[in-house]
Amino acid sequence: MRHDSTPGPEAVAVLATPPERTANPAVSRRELIVVAVLTLAFLGLLVLWSLLTPIYGAPDEHAHMNSGVRLTQELSWPEPGDARMYGMVAAARDEAGVPAAERSTFAELAADVPGTGGVDQMTQHPPLYYAFAAVVLQSIGFMDLRADVALVGLRLAGLIFAAPLPLLVWASTRRITRSPRAAVVGAAALLAVPQLAQILASVSNDGLTILLCSIVVWLGTRVMTGDARWRIVIALGVALGLALLTKGTALPFIPFAAVTLIVWPRGSTVGRRVLRAGSSLAIAFFIGGWWWLRNLLLFGDLQPSGLAGIRDTVPWEPGTSPDVIAYLDRMWTRMTGSFWGNFGWLEYPLPQLLTDVLSVIALSVVVVYAFRRGPVRWQVVVLASLPALVLVLLFVNTWRHYVRTQQFAGLQGRYLFVTIVALVVVSAVAWRRFIVPAQRRTVGVALVGLAAVVAAAGLLRAYIGEYEASQYRLSLDGLRAFAAMTPGGAPAIGLAGGAAVVVCAFALVLTIRWIRGRDSATTAAAADEERAQPASTPA
């Protein structure tokens, strides 16, 4: 039999097509089921995190709650530094060490501790998330609920922002790599970041910001891969505008949206692309961008700090000065640790060796392989610019605070979560180039298994840190403390924990079987995708 390695006419047509216009492999029903089950597993873990994290046991949770409560009491948003903590919210936080059954309602706390005191720094942010929080609190009648039950209710309501994330990661990765297998592994990779789970399962404006920024990235990948419809341009502007009305970490998405719409799709004229970019950015400015111009006009600062008035300037001793090398070293340690997992109020970190190894491997593969010549090189560059820009802005903001106060404040990896979709997509491209095609299924299975192990390690570390007397043991006393302190007690923990274990185990098995190619539709799609991307191996 004659073997001819010359590409047939169909393959030539595919390879001659610009990469942004190459069709994705058809989505099989089994693939959709896998993504749906992974989403349920992700949500199951988040429900467990919402019960595991002690009340007000996540970063700044009391202040986020306080600003939501303020909007239920008065329709005002004070200037940064002028907002005050309600006595009842501070008292509710003080009850964190009291068994759940003995805690008070907000109405009781308001009667016992009326008025306000202390600074609530959250008015340094726009108010969109807090309007959502106020609506939820009012709808559940929070004043008549035990304060911890109201908090957990708001945590659970916020999971609506987390639910689409696996789908957005899957869809974005699929658009760029045209690989169903890489897209599913990318969705499963969210489990490997337990810090993301804790933040999404807490009362915080981060959840809404992460969702909206993830939608911007997903829409951006559609533009990069040839979707020229005006509805995408309008939707991108709306999502960006809402993100800008939520938190300052959305600001780097302005240049991302502009560059994406000006460069792609390449089949359009330059004038049309500029018109599309201008229209999208105008929509974003009308919805939320005006907030940041307002800050510049009123305060002379893009984001004035809500705590600036209570943090004193500390002069440097003669002969000493800010040390950028020491600062970058501290930034690496804190950012990597609190990206993968540093729980509570940054009190219970995963082992530094683990977070260093995960960080070094992930960064090394991306740096070496993600930007090599290939059909999606510039898409990857633009996507990678997002986390890079977030890091630059974070360094600038925290460095000036360090120079003024000598404090290493604000160095938290969770600020990168707004770029989580971009991080996964860029990593997927890099890993596909790093691993030869024959080994991709094996490596995909290994990565999914690693994600599950890290997810379990995060839950275990947070539990031990909060409830056990020693980090080297599990005890009945610790489990009793967990049940006593958690709203809903043992029944809620058992139901949430049992459901999460069952769904996660099922998702793990189903995903591994699918990646290994048990589904004939998956095998066919993977074969098509590898024929269509000869440049996916290292150049």
pLDDT in tens, 116-164: 888 999 999 999 999 999 999 999 999 999 999 999 999 999 999 999 9
Sign (positive or negative) of CA dihedral 299, 300, 302, 307 = negative
Residue pair 180/25 in contact by the 8 Å Cβ criterion: yes
- How many whole angstroms separate alpha carbon 207 and alpha carbon 155? 10
Residue pair 496/201 in contact by the 8 Å Cβ criterion: no
Find all residues with CB under 8 Å of 494, minimum gap 6, and list them. Answer: none
Residue pair 462/344 in contact by the 8 Å Cβ criterion: yes
pLDDT, one tens digit per residue, over 400-428 is 878 888 788 888 999 999 999 999 999 99
The alpha carbon of residue 296 and the mean position of all alpha carbons in its chain are separated, in whole angstroms, by 27
Find all residues with CB under 8 Å of 272, minimum gap 6, and list them. Answer: none
pLDDT(7) > 50: no
pLDDT, one tens digit per residue, over 245-268 is 999 999 999 999 999 999 999 888
Specify the pLDDT at position 312: 63
SS3 (DSSP) at 116: strand
Find all residues with CB under 8 Å of 231, minimum gap 6, and list them. Answer: none
**Mutual angle of helices 61-73 and 147-157, in 10-degree steps:** 100
**pLDDT band (50, 70, 90) for residue 307:** confident
Specify the pLDDT at position 534: 38
- Residue count of the chain, please give it: 539
* 265 prior amide bond cis, ω within 30: yes
- How many whole angstroms separate alpha carbon 370 and alpha carbon 428? 8
Task: Mean pLDDT check: name the lowest of 51-60, 101-110, 302-311.
Answer: 302-311
Q: Which two tokens stand for residue 396?
A: 């600038």
The mean pLDDT value of the chain amounts to 89
**pLDDT band (50, 70, 90) for residue 75:** confident
Tally Cβ neighbours within 10 Å of residue 181: 27
- How many whole angstroms separate alpha carbon 97 and alpha carbon 447? 39
Give me the mean pLDDT over the 206-227 stretch: 97
What percentage of the chain reaches a pLDDT higher than 90? 77
pLDDT(11) > 50: no
Specify the pLDDT at position 318: 77
SS3 labels along 302-349: CCCCCCHHHCCCCCCCCCCCCCHHHHHHHHHHHHHHHHHCEECCCCEE
**Cα-atom radius of gyration of the chain, to the nearest Å?**
24
Find all residues with CB under 8 Å of 89, minimum gap 6, and list them. Answer: 62, 65, 66, 69
Q: Which two tokens stand for residue 17?
A: 């097509």
pLDDT(515) > 70: yes
**pLDDT band (50, 70, 90) for residue 351:** very high
Strand-pair partners of 471: none
Give how far Cα 168 sits from Cα of 165, 337, 349, Å. Answer: 5, 25, 28
pLDDT(523) > 50: no
DSSP 393-461: HHHHHHHHHHHHH----S--GGGGGGGHHHHHHHHHHHHHHHS-GGGHHHHHHHHHHHHHHHHHHHHHH
Spatial CA neighbour of 394 closest among 339, 315, 313, 316: 339
Specify the pLDDT at position 402: 83
pLDDT, one tens digit per residue, over 94-115 is 999 999 999 999 999 999 999 9
Strand-pair partners of 268: none
Site of tokens 């009190």: 347
- Label the pairing between strands 342-343 and 116-119: unpaired
